[in-house]
Amino acid sequence: MLITHDTECALGMLVELLNTSPEACGREDLPDLAALRDFVVRREISDVGPLGQADLEAVRALRERLRAVFAASSTREASDLVNRLVAQAGTTPRLTDHDGHDWHMHYFAPGAALADHLGAEGGMALAFILVAGERERLRRCEAPDCARVFVDLSRNRSRRYCDSRTCGNRLHVAAYRARQRSAAEAPDALAAPAR
């Protein structure tokens, strides 16, 4: 699957945003405007004006609408959700080369509210995944106690965990320990008394 750098960045932003929700991490990771500003800076989101409480609430609402795309039961349902997101964001595709970056596409209108900006960029990135017939790459972590999402960009679509160092490693260690316990509890056939 050919995916542009811009789309990969938008997907990364989208996943990080989705994983700030209480559903994903057990707490609200966008509790206030300072956290929202930190998110904007960390993700290097450009063309963002002053942020207010309404922006925080709009981004949280958008986050749940984006999460629904990952939970969609079919490509038709996912595409309907993406179409509504993109339409509501009022996408305005334009080429730009701001801040020393090479030419790339922005899908939000200049001066757009942050939620519209994120909805347009995230919605278009999701649209590219759906158009490529790759909806199965939109995944939820397979760790039983994790609700984080991710986009599996591995070549063979084999990624199972949101983070192999945390969820993946934790499950592998738990499976190893279970095998060790099972082996220790199994009767040793060689130690049985001879008759």
pLDDT of residue 189: 47
C-alpha dihedral (148, 15, 167, 129), degrees to nearest 10: 100
Among the listed residues 18, 8, 59, the one whose alpha carbon sits nearest the alpha carbon of residue 37: 59
Q: Provide the pLDDT confidence category of residue 87 given band limits of 50, 70 and 90.
A: very high
Region 122-134 average pLDDT: 95
pLDDT at 20 over 90: yes
Question: Whole-number mean pLDDT of the chain?
Answer: 87
Q: What is the pLDDT of residues 42-81, one digit of tens each?
A: 998 988 989 999 999 999 999 999 999 999 999 999 999 9
pTM of the model: 0.80
pLDDT at 168 over 50: yes
Region 1-13 average pLDDT: 87
